[in-house]
């Protein structure tokens, strides 16, 4: 069963109204506070563009499944007996109850607890209790679980309800290359998302998190305590370079097209006169952490390529943001989950690697405790305070004007990627342009 769009009620927010709320260097506060705009986002944006759902490593075996959401829509992501992946609305086609009420598991079929309709894990309706109660025109083949279109890139699973949408690879554009760079930090290894997740809820709009994900302007102020702690070990330690004149350094932000953005810290790890980080440079700039010295000693004693292995325990120094809900930050995968116009859940998934020594993954996991514990609370406090400020109706505009209108400050390459100094608000301007384009074209 697939969606036809029939019976969809017209939305109250017109395209003209949306355009009036977006200017080149600013957006109206209503983008963050208007419930009707939020509902339009959930219905159209989170249904008709590619939405990140989960990682293939969370479904390692036939019949594995996870449940998640596309906007307000509960969905099931499952592997069938042939290991093919399906994304289905978690909604019985009979009386609308969810058919799967577990976060994850392994199941060949799902039976609705309400009236017992049973669906195979590819969505086909296979059983209806007491079928003699239905007219001869009733056909089980007409009433399977509603299917979304699903595609994968480098293990990341995306879905859309728009069966006419461009391919996922076209949607990702240049961002696909950076996803591959992130996956291929250790050639031959696969990335595995661990089952435990760090979930945080803040009282604010979901776009505040996306605004922040490629914002190189705020760390010197929002994360002052974190920078001060790292600075005790020297000016080259991780993130300290945000503290004074970051635009004078080599870090950049980029507009990758289609709302995707990048904050690239990797150039700050390059040795003078080089264009890529040298072996061991990530480890040399890592902040202190629990167990670091003991595990480093074990790795150096046991393995000849210790510098390479230690670098893998440190974050990638990329904030790669896939519009609208996937943030790849350091070695972690963060998912933006809108709950209400002023309520958002952020879920951090830690990752390990296959084919590396266990000590490497142990140290990698310890390092991934760092920012969600010491940096993310700073950000979420700002999101909540921003939402409070957005409630003031007399102050209408949110500025994204840093770097705007300055000749020569941004560059454009042959692939259409724009690059700017790390504190520019180019990423916010670019993703909002895609936000508007998507909603203007919404059915």
Tens of pLDDT, residues 114-124: 999 999 999 99
- Sequence-distant (6+) residues with CB within 8 A of 334 are 326, 327, 328, 346, 347, 348, 349
Rounded mean pLDDT, 92-110: 97
Higher pLDDT, 222 or 51: 51
Mean pLDDT of 381-402: 96
Residues 6+ apart with CB under 8 A from 375: 223, 226
Q: Report, as an integer, the average pLDDT of 290-294.
A: 83
Max mean pLDDT range (148-157, 222-231, 303-312): 148-157
What's the average model confidence in pLDDT over 40-58? 95
CA dihedral 209, 213, 214, 216 (to 10 degrees): 90
pLDDT reported for residue 226? 65
As a whole number, the mean pLDDT across the chain is: 90
- pLDDT at 2 > cutoff 90: no
**Residue that the structure tokens 């953005």 belong to:** 261
Q: How confident is the model at residue 233 (pLDDT cuts 50, 70, 90)?
A: low
Q: What is the pLDDT of residue 235?
A: 55
Model confidence at 376: pLDDT above 90: no
Delineate the domains of the chain, giving CATH numbers in brackets: 51-160 (2.102.10.10), 188-440 (3.90.380.10)
Q: Which residues lie across from 23 on neighbouring strands?
A: 26
Q: At residue 329, does pLDDT exceed 90?
A: yes
435 burial level (CB within 10 Å; 0-12, 13-18, 19+):
buried
Q: Calculate what percentage of the chain has a pLDDT beyond 70.
A: 91
150-195 confidence digits (pLDDT tens): 999 999 999 999 999 999 999 999 999 999 999 999 988 999 999 8
The pLDDT assigned to 292 comes to: 85
Backbone angles phi, psi at 52, to 5 degrees: -70, 135
pLDDT (tens digit per residue) in 21-35:
999 999 999 999 999
Mean local confidence (pLDDT), 302-327: 94
The answer to whether the CB of 2 falls within 8 A of the CB of 146 is yes
d(CA 76, CA 66): 6
pTM for this entry: 0.93
**pLDDT in the model for residue 201:** 96
């Amino acid at each position: 069963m697939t969606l036809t769009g029939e019976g969809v009620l017209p939305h109250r927010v017109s395209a003209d109204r949306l355009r009036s709320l977006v200017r080149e260097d600013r957006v109206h506060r209503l983008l963050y506070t208007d419930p009707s705009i939020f509902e339009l986002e959930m219905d159209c944006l989170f249904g008709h563009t590619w939405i990140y759902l989960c990682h293939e490593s969370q479904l390692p075996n036939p019949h594995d499944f996870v449940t998640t959401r596309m906007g307000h829509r509960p969905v099931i992501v499952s592997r069938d007996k042939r290991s093919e992946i399906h994304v289905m609305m978690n909604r019985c086609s009979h009386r609308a109850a969810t058919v799967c009420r577990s976060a994850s598991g392994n199941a060949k079929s799902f039976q609705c607890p309400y009236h017992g309709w049973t669906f195979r894990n590819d969505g086909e309706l296979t059983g209806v209790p007491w079928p003699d109660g239905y007219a001869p025109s009733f056909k089980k083949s007409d009433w399977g679980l509603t299917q979304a279109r699903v595609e994968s890139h480098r293990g990341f699973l995306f879905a859309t309800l728009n069966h006419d949408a461009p391919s996922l690879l076209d949607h990702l554009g240049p961002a696909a290359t950076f996803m591959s760079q992130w996956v291929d930090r250790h050639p031959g290894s696969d990335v595995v998302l661990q089952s435990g997740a760090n979930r945080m809820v803040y009282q604010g709009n979901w776009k505040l998190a996306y605004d922040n994900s490629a914002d190189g302007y705020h760390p010197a102020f929002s994360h002052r305590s974190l920078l001060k702690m790292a600075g005790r070990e020297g000016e080259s330690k991780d993130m300290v370079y945000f503290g004074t004149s970051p635009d004078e350094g080599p870090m950049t932000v980029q507009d990758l097209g289609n709302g995707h953005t990048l904050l690239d810290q990797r150039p700050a790890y390059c040795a003078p006169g080089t264009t890529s980080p040298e072996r061991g440079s990530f480890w040399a700039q890592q902040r202190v952490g629990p167990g670091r010295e003991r595990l480093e000693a074990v790795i150096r004693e046991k393995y000849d390529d210790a510098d390479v292995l230690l670098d893998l325990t440190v974050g990638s120094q990329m904030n790669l943001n896939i519009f609208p809900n996937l943030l790849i930050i350091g070695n972690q995968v963060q998912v933006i989950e809108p709950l209400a116009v002023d309520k958002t859940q952020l879920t951090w998934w830690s990752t390990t690697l296959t084919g590396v020594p266990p000590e490497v993954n142990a140290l990698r996991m310890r390092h991934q405790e760092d920012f969600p514990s010491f940096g993310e609370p700073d950000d979420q406090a700002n999101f909540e305070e921003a939402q409070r400020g957005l409630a003031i109706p007399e102050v209408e505009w949110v500025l994204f004007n840093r770097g705007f209108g300055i000749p020569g400050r941004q560059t454009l390459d042959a692939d259409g990627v724009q690059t700017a100094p790390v504190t520019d608000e180019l990423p916010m301007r670019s993703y909002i342009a895609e936000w508007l384009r998507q909603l203007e074209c919404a059915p």
